[in-house]
Structure 1
Amino acid sequence: MRESVDADVYYDPYDTAIDDDPYPVWKRLRDEAPLYYNEKHDFYALSRFDDVVAGIQDWNTFRSGRGTIMEVITSGMEIPSGLVLFEDPPVHDMHRKIMSRVFTPRRIAAIEPLARKFTVEALDPLIGSGGFDVVADLGAWMPMRTIGALLGIPEQDQATIRDSTDKALAVRDGARRERTGKAYVPPHLGMIADYVDWRAENPSDDLMSDLINAEVVEPDGTRRRLDRGEILTYINTIMGAGSETTTRLIGFTGQLLSDHPEQRREIVADLSLVPAAIEEVLRYEAPSPVQARYVAADTRHHGRTVPEGAVLLLINGSANRDERRYPDPDRFDIHRRDTHLSFGFGLHFCLGAALARLEGRVALEEILRRWPDWEVDYAKAVRGHTSSVRGWAKLPVTT
């Protein structure tokens, strides 16, 4: 019989009403049920900073190899090789080395002027219009255009890839996948396959060619080229992870600096505050706030047992607001100088963190150069609900 908690608090990651503002529920979890069990969906959750950090680090017990999204784990899907987000050592380490080549300092340096160019092209036509949509006009486009250009994906297909990714991740109230045992198939794989086949015959100085020519070192020391399936999975991961969370980051930046105009004006007067502002946005509103794990062995937390075979959620979005770690954590403060867990920690620290920070910084700098003041039109704003990220789907502002 699974143990339950006695606290009268309910958390459901599939409940869109909770997802709209999960912080009151997460605070109750931290205070009343630091190890929480949800009987309806059969999962456990840890919500305090120290517990989440320890859980992320303990990959032997809390495994990513069956997926890091709850419904992927419970579906029993077979995870394809190369999906580094859903892997554990030693395979994870082998594939992470390949992925790290994508985000080298040389690549990141080359990305900034490209990201700025796309941002300028998105914003300049909106000058004088009286307002714009932070997500639809910029956040949903600039990150995808940037990573798509580096991979060599034509712009007309980038929109299709973005839309199919959103559809694949979309969550409806109470959504939960039934156990199928089928292989996990990333969205828009066929379209990417056509580009890979063409690029294999027409190599260039781009990320796709790098992956096609990459060699992997197996645990036994042997070397081999990536197979076609791994290449497709890598590219799909880069396209999805490289744009979806940054879209949410840009949306939250627009919202929070509308809600805190005095801090926005400080940044206008001193653009050197932009990087710190982006870090505080990430802490305050984590674009990817919940990480799921498969529990590989019985483990004890707060006097209770989490049994082998369970699903455990590590709520990093809650950990970022833990009073035990941060002073006055529900106060948005661009002058705060502290770390956060929005990019994970340790082994699974996000490989694209530098790219997301860069794109968030560029987006904010260019917005502020055109519009030092704006206000969110909440009557027309729409939240997005997906399996792995939270944030705004539409965020219209008046300028």
Structure 2
Amino acid sequence: MTATATGEVHFSPYDQDIVSDPYPVYRRLREEAPLYHNAEIGFYAVSRFADVSAVLQDHETYSSAKGDILELIQADMEVPSGVLIFEDPPVHPLHRRLLSRIFTPKRIIALEPQIRDFCVRSLDPLVGASEFDIIAELGAQVPMRAIGMLLGIPEAEQEAVRDAVDESLRTEAGAPMSADQTLLDGEAFAQYVDWRAENLSDDIISQLLQVEFEDETGTVRKLTRQEVVLYVTVLAGAGNETTGRLIGWTAKLLAENPGQRAELVADPTLIPGAIEEILRMEAPGHFMCRYVTRDVEVHGTTVPQGSIMMAIIAGANRDPERFPDPETFDIHRRDVQHMAFGGGIHFCLGNALARLEGRVALEELLKRFPTWDVDLANARLSSTSTVRGWEKLPLRIR
């Protein structure tokens, strides 16, 4: 069934009433319109776990080459080489392998003491406070610090870079992202790439400048300056925006589930599982879009070539066909194979870093503040069309 008629379920990513609480609409989409069509905005959508998984696994039918954001695909703009998340084979596996050689598990694990030290320095001065904003103190800080450490950006300059990245993704409430409002120019990072070219070190920018690889033409070469800038920009933008939202949702969900929060305080070994459940319940990115390369039948309806298919991962993460009692937050849930990091060939390369940041931030938060409430009257959801999370989230310490 495709729901399109007046009176049937309606979904728009720009409807602020829906954005404020999208899950009832996602439930109706799963139940009433497993293939949804919004003719006015111009996209199809799937929201069941099996359907979302099928879309993300099938890169030949559902292409990322025009982008994974609705507005970018509609703009039909030329995506420059090096934007890994906007590529298909044969270019994508070449660039992903190249980045995987640098973005290694060993390098990520080595960051833990530095991330923990930053969390300690951020939270220790707050001990004794009756209230603080978890986003300002951790959510907006930890991700850019971590990625800044990886890239080799001086700590004193990391906030300015983060703000430039955030501004490039920010939209007015209820408004789409404009075609020229993207990270693709990489201006915030170009100066660091140029500086590192003359001052090589062991950070990721330096390694990207030096690495050699065989490109899709069979030529062994180094990355161009523009390719390095784009690699760095994509890494920073994807990691900063989404992980900051994870920290905010962690604080909110645990405030709403104080019994489970107390379990984490008593037994911190439960924290990694809790992070997975938080990612399932509140994925920072709610959907990914793909360009449909051929006519394809979905739930008895032909989706024509040239359409845009939206995979609603936040809806899939609460599909009762995949997760028993999906609306219930449960840190003891087993087999939490959520889709917060996507799927298929574009499964998030930075997932280990995001998990590390979320775990360490929560560990250090609980050590100092075992109980808190959220001041929702003074909280504010972020105004971007690409992620859903808190721009301001005051905690009242008890």
Q: TM-score, normalised by structure 1?
A: 0.95
- Superposition deviation, residue 190 in structure 1: 2.8
- Superposition deviation, residue 185 in structure 1: 5.5
Identity percentage of aligned residues = 53
For residues 197-236 of structure 1, the aligned pairs below 5 Å read 197-236=194-233
Q: Is the contact made by 1:166 and 1:386 (CA closer than 8 Å) also made in structure 2?
A: no
Closer, same or farther in 2 for the Cα pair 1:187/1:131, shift >3 Å?
farther
2:27 is paired with a residue whose SS is: helix
Q: Is the contact made by 1:46 and 1:313 (CA closer than 8 Å) also made in structure 2?
A: yes
Counterpart position of 2:350: 352
For residues 151-230 of structure 1, the aligned pairs below 5 Å read 151-176=151-176, 186=183, 189-230=186-227
1:379 is paired with a residue whose SS is: helix
Counterpart position of 2:261: 264
Counterpart position of 1:335: 332
CA distance, structure 1, for counterparts of residue 200 and residue 169 of structure 2: 32
CA distance, structure 2, for counterparts of residue 196 and residue 242 of structure 1: 18
- Superposition deviation, residue 187 in structure 1: 6.4
Closer, same or farther in 2 for the Cα pair 1:8/1:364, shift >3 Å?
same
- Superposition deviation, residue 228 in structure 1: 0.6
- Unaligned stretches of 5+ residues in structure 1: none
Residues 305-325 of structure 1 show CA distances to partners (whole Å, capped at 9, x for unaligned) of 111111110001100000111
Q: Is the contact made by 1:298 and 1:306 (CA closer than 8 Å) also made in structure 2?
A: yes
Q: Is the contact made by 1:14 and 1:172 (CA closer than 8 Å) also made in structure 2?
A: no
Closer, same or farther in 2 for the Cα pair 1:112/1:189, shift >3 Å?
same
Residues 324-363 of structure 1 show CA distances to partners (whole Å, capped at 9, x for unaligned) of 1111000000000121111111211100000000000000
- Unaligned stretches of 5+ residues in structure 2: none
Q: Is the contact made by 1:79 and 1:86 (CA closer than 8 Å) also made in structure 2?
A: yes
Matched, 1:62 2:59: no
Which sits farther off after the overlay, 128-137 or 224-233? 128-137
For residues 237-276 of structure 1, the aligned pairs below 5 Å read 237-276=234-273
Q: Is the contact made by 1:164 and 1:188 (CA closer than 8 Å) also made in structure 2?
A: no
Q: Is the contact made by 2:165 and 2:188 (CA closer than 8 Å) also made in structure 1?
A: no
Counterpart position of 2:80: 80
CA distance, structure 1, for counterparts of residue 34 and residue 170 of structure 2: 28
1:243 is paired with a residue whose SS is: helix
Which sits farther off after the overlay, 137-146 or 357-366? 137-146
Q: Is the contact made by 2:209 and 2:223 (CA closer than 8 Å) also made in structure 1?
A: yes
Deviation >3 Å, runs of 4+: 3-7
Residues 16-75 of structure 1 show CA distances to partners (whole Å, capped at 9, x for unaligned) of 221121100000000000000012201100000000000001101111010000001111
Counterpart position of 1:139: 139
Counterpart position of 1:31: 31
CA distance, structure 2, for counterparts of residue 89 and residue 387 of structure 1: 27
Closer, same or farther in 2 for the Cα pair 1:130/1:102, shift >3 Å?
farther
Residues 239-279 of structure 1 show CA distances to partners (whole Å, capped at 9, x for unaligned) of 11121111000000000000000000011110000000000
CA distance, structure 1, for counterparts of residue 103 and residue 273 of structure 2: 22
Q: Is the contact made by 1:139 and 1:248 (CA closer than 8 Å) also made in structure 2?
A: yes
Counterpart position of 1:295: 292
Q: Is the contact made by 2:173 and 2:383 (CA closer than 8 Å) also made in structure 1?
A: no
Q: Is the contact made by 2:3 and 2:33 (CA closer than 8 Å) also made in structure 1?
A: no
Q: Is the contact made by 1:66 and 1:73 (CA closer than 8 Å) also made in structure 2?
A: yes
Counterpart position of 1:396: 394
CA distance, structure 1, for counterparts of residue 184 and residue 256 of structure 2: 35
Q: Is the contact made by 1:84 and 1:95 (CA closer than 8 Å) also made in structure 2?
A: yes
1:378 aligns with one of 366, 376, 379: 376
AA aligned to 1:395 is: L
- Superposition deviation, residue 387 in structure 1: 2.5
* RMSD over equivalenced CA pairs, Å: 1.6
1:29 is paired with a residue whose SS is: helix
Q: Is the contact made by 2:169 and 2:182 (CA closer than 8 Å) also made in structure 1?
A: no
Counterpart position of 1:286: 283
Which sits farther off after the overlay, 213-222 or 353-362? 213-222
AA aligned to 2:352 is: A
For residues 307-318 of structure 1, the aligned pairs below 5 Å read 307-318=304-315
- Alignment length, in residue pairs? 394
Closer, same or farther in 2 for the Cα pair 1:174/1:140, shift >3 Å?
closer
- Superposition deviation, residue 98 in structure 1: 1.7
AA aligned to 2:372 is: W
Q: TM-score, normalised by structure 2?
A: 0.95
AA aligned to 2:348 is: C
AA aligned to 2:41 is: H
CA distance, structure 2, for counterparts of residue 228 and residue 286 of structure 1: 33
2:348 is paired with a residue whose SS is: coil
Counterpart position of 2:318: 321
